[in-house]
Structure 1
Amino acid sequence: MTQSMSTSPDSVINITEIFTATISKNSQYFSITFNNCFSFSFQFPDLLIMTGTSSMKNCLVAIKNAKFKKDTLLKTPFVYPDPITEIEIYPPSVRAKQSTWAVTGSSKTTMLKILAGEFISYPPLSRTYPLINDSPTQLQFLNFRDASGLDKVHMSARYETYSYKGKLEMSDDVNSVYNYVTGLNNYNTKNKNINTEFVDSLLKYFKLSHLQHKWINSLSNGQLRRARIAKSLMTKPKLLLIDDPFLGLDPINTKSVSDALQTVSQELDISMILGLRVQDDIPEWIQSLCYVDENGVRLAGDKQTVSTEYENLTTSTETSHKAHESRHNKHTKLVPIPTDYFQKEGLHIEFHNASVAYKKLVIFDNFNWRIPQGSKWRILGDNGTGKTTLLSIITADHPQSWKSVISVYGQLRKTGSGVTFFDINNRIGISSPELHALVPQHTKTMKEIIYNGLVKNVGNSNFLFKGDPKNISEIGQKYLNYFQDRLDMYGDTVFNELSMTDQKLTLFLRAIIKEPKLLILDEAFSCMDDENVMIRCHELIEHELQNTTVISIGHLEWELAKYDYMIKLINDNDKRDYRTFKVE
């Protein structure tokens, strides 16, 4: 390419004296190479990927003296005020110690987005991808905020469509777990040649083999996360970034997924970057650490080399966490109690000889559970034991909840009883992963979503209606006052731009502002980066919701508000059972 550019009548600069460029194009990509030194490779509409022939040519990602913006507007601030001086990520086969990373700190998600190319770098070539230049699928980023290939449905829709899906779609396994992982549930996919041996290995690694013929939307939250990770590995990416990979997984499956990620990293030569909270255990196979706060990267390097500095940076967080954790562990002695431990008088909810089944799959059989008004419960169980199903019966999202399996305040819930779905949900506040996925990410602010909880007769999953803040009661305002500092800072921020801590806080406040008789907290505080905000939520529940019945689900003890009783669901080789306990 040869061009001349006139700058004045007296001077002409011949660009060929500065650089030469060649443009090439194949069926998928354009490439522009300057002086055989660096090049741009891009595919529309995918991410612009820059590559360079420098000393870092074997590097997957290289960042040097870079700042980043969300857009090109001059008024837009940089995402970090401080530049990122240097980070290099390599394939395991090149530099093993720089191929597996844990990114922690209050701004870890932003850092993962930078590595995934979601922000604009300044200067333009301060972030390069030397080895990721032939397919955008070579870099995969899982942040679990979108449904990515899933039907975006609430719990009720899952159950209402079981028979429909069974007749029309599951007959040929279109929406099975297997087809979701392989991409065969996409009618437009061009990839029909599947390496079945490789797929079987992935299903085995992530404990999905026995689930491969199930409808994908029928999986529990933990099972669905494992399926999404397996799906992201189908393209054998060179770099996989996962934010909060172990959220929603019980301890057994946490270790299983961690081991699987280590195995595929080594066997497929895939670099792994995990976004973890400071409080989370860092897997032993992770060899490099990156700590990030609101100002930028505070440290990055080999785990052994930076461990002392990392401990110094995280001391206050760890100290606070250990104190919070010890307070929880102090009151966790469990004493078994019979199902008739509570008298019928004063009961809020009762299951009496309840049975729930899908065709031949029994979820509950002769299930009995008495929940007094104002009691605080934890539901414990491994992934797939029926926790979400149990909640969906209570909230009337499950169609079998109308078949005389549950009583509320002594009134048996059944068709024709005069109680509607909306009557039930007017008295229930809920925060759950299903609701989180339904929030309008880009159009509703923190305050708008909270005030939406004031709207009656629309159900808990409807975010379309605006609540009037004038209708907030004195008690509801008292709840908001606990977090006035957060509301002042982020109240007018759209949901997608909130931190995970404030997204979780938003859904929690939406659930309690209506002064519910029953509060359901399904993984409500999981993934919160700011543990102090979580503690304030727990304190509000303990001091202000003494007469409210609270049911919590969570795999980490310290993420749960204080509870007095626990029901443990058991699935032993498809044999369902349960136990109830009192906490002393």
Structure 2
Amino acid sequence: MRPPVIRIAGGTFYRSHPNSQSSHPNPPLFSRLSFELPSSPTRPQHWCVVGPSLSGKTTFLQILRGRLLSDPASARSFPYLSEDEVPARLRSPQRAVRYVGFDAEQNAGGLGAGGVAASAYLSARYESRREITDFSLRDYLLGNTELNPLRAPPGDGEGTASTQLLGRLVGDLRLSHLLDLPVSFLSNGQGRRARIARALLMRPEVLLLDEPFMGLDPPTVSGLSPLLRSLAEKASPRLVLSARPQDPLPEWITHLVYLRTDCQVGSMGPKEVVLDGLKKYVQGVGKGGLAEDERLPVHSLLHVGRVLGSAAPSASGTAAATRATAQDLSSTDTGAEPLVEMGGCQVRYGGKVALGNWSQQTPDGRRDGLIWTVRRGERWGVFGPNGSGKTTIVSLLSSDHPQTYSLPIKLFGRGRLPEPGAAARPLTFWDIQSRIGHSSPEVHRHMPRNHSIRQVVENAWADTFRAIPRLDGAAKRKVDAALRWFAPELRPNAAASAPARDDGRLGWADDCMFGEVSFSAQRVALFVRSMIKGPDVVVLDEAFSGMDDAVRDKCMLFLTDGECKRRDGAGRVVDGAAAAATAVGGLTGRQALICIAHVKEEVPDCVREWICLPEANTGAPARFGRLEGALREDEGRWAAVWGSA
């Protein structure tokens, strides 16, 4: 019988050496962990690591790939890689075990661990000038991203890929039409699919996929899951996935690792056995026969075990969401001040139209491009497949896109260029940045990793990512209140340190670096940064992805009610701080919200207006509608949003 690919026998793991002298927290991670990934099991084993925010899903995958310090060092090994049948290029864990996750975006920039240079600022991805490091997607997938490549030794094969495999992957992952584009031009979802394709083309023994369906539109998810299943069945490569408790699991998953909130394994083994044990635990707590373990909160287990379906949302939904023309929808409340006015925006790169490749009838005749108005008090959802232009819309709103100057766009009633006879001066970049709060994967990618958590939140009052913020007394009180409110979600290992939650001290916010906390905690910090200042427009682009449902719901409650409401231990909404003691309130009637999401549960309940962009370059127009209630409460509403016109 062949040895396992990965063997962990009673290991305890640390980020730094346990005897090192450091002011940063260095708790033991997954104490006395044991785990094996067999190389040739009698029955196939397809693993998924499941756990709520701050439970250590990414940490667990990093341990499997050979990262973090093991105590003892011999507790972790990769015995199968020494077998004669393993190619020479895969004898080291660094090559044999590949990882695709969102922290990779923060290492090498761009697409992450592909050696593609990152831009220094947000607008760089939209500039027409091509730099020498603007490698095409084809070059990225084939590993041709070195400026001065060295000739590989004969038979090394690192980074090489067969034409047949390349053709299959780009077809299955819907990347064929993007092969000649620079990777910096890809949307967030397209970039994530490209990273998965690149990892598969390197033909590893094990592929670790950290929440692979995050940020992908429903049609892409429906296509990606069968592809991963076919790879898993062939054990080429062996797959280990991670997921949040609320995420549907692919039906082909056979084994689960469920993590507690203190970075320890709660349950591990065959999927049916683990799910049955968790179900009995939830029932026991509900009937009062068992005491709830705060490290295994019941609310995070309510949706565990749902199966990922293969069908994308269809047009079979009810009329709960009604369609309207752009001009009809924009006149729903003409008394409210328009904050965003797009009078026919069409973004082009040469002969390719990235946004607005359609025409529509208006009272003034047919006009090309996107016609859209956002007024004070409105709560918008922006939807559409990956590559349809959602990120481009955000770049136009924040004025990061250079074409903002030449397009018919007004923000806060003013344009970017001087107008003849206009009394008001044109908007500057700094005017716009001061009035729009923005959380997105782009902001996440560019936020300095050496900022403390406090610095990230205070950055809402700064002109650039590294500029010194200008805070008055009220602003400082807002920051302290938000940090105190989200301490359990932001402070590393908070679940294991009760004083962190009880004494109200905030020194940890100065000690914890943004790049050292979990992905979920990073997203929480960026969410707080986007709305803490009370800007005129709050833009949330996939802001809640990577959070478990409890953290996400807490953020959504803070968005709408600030400190005035909170959730109790059972998840019920109750009164929070008294109005007189409130430093941070929720959205007001003078603010507008624009939310982009691919999962209905990540759309705040207050969203009522929506726009759904068409697949790029189909010529179909954008569709508009209005919701009669919370989107996540009715599957029919979600289906209507994604249905055909």
Q: CA deviation at 1:482?
A: 3.7
Q: CA deviation at 1:159?
A: 0.8
Give me the whole-angstrom Cα distance separating, in 2, the residues matched to 1:107 and 1:554.
Answer: 24
Give the corresponding residue for 2:505: none
Specify whether residues 199 and 225 from structure 1 end up closer, same or farther in structure 2 by C-alpha distance, changes over 3 A only: same
Provide the alpha-carbon RMSD of the alignment.
2.8
Amino acid at match of 1:336: R
Specify whether residues 65 and 487 from structure 1 end up closer, same or farther in structure 2 by C-alpha distance, changes over 3 A only: closer
Q: Which has the larger radius of gyration?
A: 1
1:541 counterpart = 2:559: yes
Spell out, residue by residue over 1:428-478, the C-alpha distance to the aligned partner (whole angstroms, 9 max, x if none): 11000011111222x2111111112112xx24xx23535557461666665
Amino acid at match of 1:204: G
Quick check: 1:83–1:296 contact (8 Å CA) kept in 2? no
Give the corresponding residue for 2:65: 116
Q: CA deviation at 1:358?
A: 1.9
Amino acid at match of 1:352: G
Give the corresponding residue for 1:305: 273
SS in 1 for 2:408: strand
Give me the whole-angstrom Cα distance separating, in 1, the residues matched to 2:14 and 2:481.
Answer: 38
Give me the whole-angstrom Cα distance separating, in 2, the residues matched to 1:321 and 1:181.
Answer: 35
Spell out, residue by residue over 1:112-153, the C-alpha distance to the aligned partner (whole angstroms, 9 max, x if none): 111111122222221111123413311101222232233323
Percent identity reads 29
Q: From 434, 446, 454, give the equivalent of 2:442.
A: 434
Q: CA deviation at 1:186?
A: 2.1
Give me the whole-angstrom Cα distance separating, in 2, the residues matched to 1:484 and 1:120.
Answer: 27
Give the corresponding residue for 1:181: 141
1:493 counterpart = 2:512: yes
Give the corresponding residue for 2:299: 316
Amino acid at match of 1:581: G
Spell out, residue by residue over 1:485-523, the C-alpha distance to the aligned partner (whole angstroms, 9 max, x if none): 556745231112222222111111112222211110000
Specify whether residues 487 and 265 from structure 1 end up closer, same or farther in structure 2 by C-alpha distance, changes over 3 A only: closer
Pairing 1:65-214 to 2, within 5 Å after superposition:
65-74=10-19, 78-80=27-29, 82-84=31-33, 86-91=34-39, 93-105=40-52, 106-133=55-82, 134-135=91-92, 136-145=94-103, 146=106, 147-148=112-113, 149-153=115-119, 154-160=121-127, 163-165=128-130, 175-187=135-147, 188=149, 190=151, 194-214=161-181
Give me the whole-angstrom Cα distance separating, in 2, the residues matched to 1:433 and 1:332.
Answer: 33
Q: From 525, 531, 541, give the equivalent of 1:512.
A: 531
Gaps of 5+ in 2: 83-90, 107-111, 153-158, 282-295, 306-317, 357-367, 420-424, 492-499, 501-507, 562-585, 629-645
1:575 counterpart = 2:619: yes
Give me the whole-angstrom Cα distance separating, in 1, the residues matched to 2:150 and 2:438.
Answer: 37
Amino acid at match of 1:339: A
SS in 2 for 1:283: coil
Give me the whole-angstrom Cα distance separating, in 2, the residues matched to 1:144 and 1:132.
Answer: 27
SS in 2 for 1:575: coil
Q: CA deviation at 1:408?
A: 2.1
Give me the whole-angstrom Cα distance separating, in 2, the residues matched to 1:425 and 1:306.
Answer: 48
SS in 2 for 1:132: helix
Quick check: 1:479–1:540 contact (8 Å CA) kept in 2? no
Amino acid at match of 1:180: Y
Specify whether residues 524 and 463 from structure 1 end up closer, same or farther in structure 2 by C-alpha distance, changes over 3 A only: farther
SS in 1 for 2:624: strand
Specify whether residues 305 and 212 from structure 1 end up closer, same or farther in structure 2 by C-alpha distance, changes over 3 A only: same
Pairing 1:377-526 to 2, within 5 Å after superposition:
377-414=380-417, 418-441=426-449, 443-455=450-462, 458-459=463-464, 462-465=465-468, 468=471, 470=473, 472=475, 479=482, 482-483=485-486, 486=489, 489=500, 490-491=508-509, 492-526=511-545
Specify whether residues 239 and 467 from structure 1 end up closer, same or farther in structure 2 by C-alpha distance, changes over 3 A only: farther
**Higher fraction of strand:** 1
Give the corresponding residue for 2:264: 296
Give me the whole-angstrom Cα distance separating, in 1, the residues matched to 2:231 and 2:542.
Answer: 28
Q: CA deviation at 1:582?
A: 1.1
Give the corresponding residue for 1:247: 214
Gaps of 5+ in 1: 1-54, 323-330
Quick check: 1:90–1:99 contact (8 Å CA) kept in 2? no
Give me the whole-angstrom Cα distance separating, in 2, the residues matched to 1:216 and 1:480.
Answer: 36
Specify whether residues 478 and 347 from structure 1 end up closer, same or farther in structure 2 by C-alpha distance, changes over 3 A only: farther
Give me the whole-angstrom Cα distance separating, in 2, the residues matched to 1:194 and 1:536.
Answer: 45
Pairing 1:17-28 to 2, within 5 Å after superposition:
none
Quick check: 2:339–2:374 contact (8 Å CA) kept in 1? yes
TM-score, normalisation: structure 2: 0.73
TM-score, normalisation: structure 1: 0.80
Quick check: 2:338–2:413 contact (8 Å CA) kept in 1? yes
Q: CA deviation at 1:77?
A: 5.0
SS in 2 for 1:566: strand
Query: 417-426 or 481-490: which moved more?
Result: 481-490
Give the corresponding residue for 2:598: 555
The alignment of Structure 1 onto Structure 2 pairs a total of residues equal to: 507
Give me the whole-angstrom Cα distance separating, in 2, the residues matched to 1:264 and 1:474.
Answer: 52
Quick check: 1:183–1:189 contact (8 Å CA) kept in 2? no
Quick check: 1:58–1:90 contact (8 Å CA) kept in 2? yes
Give me the whole-angstrom Cα distance separating, in 2, the residues matched to 1:335 and 1:196.
Answer: 46
SS in 2 for 1:158: helix
Specify whether residues 150 and 577 from structure 1 end up closer, same or farther in structure 2 by C-alpha distance, changes over 3 A only: farther
Amino acid at match of 1:74: N
SS in 2 for 1:571: coil
Q: CA deviation at 1:274?
A: 0.6
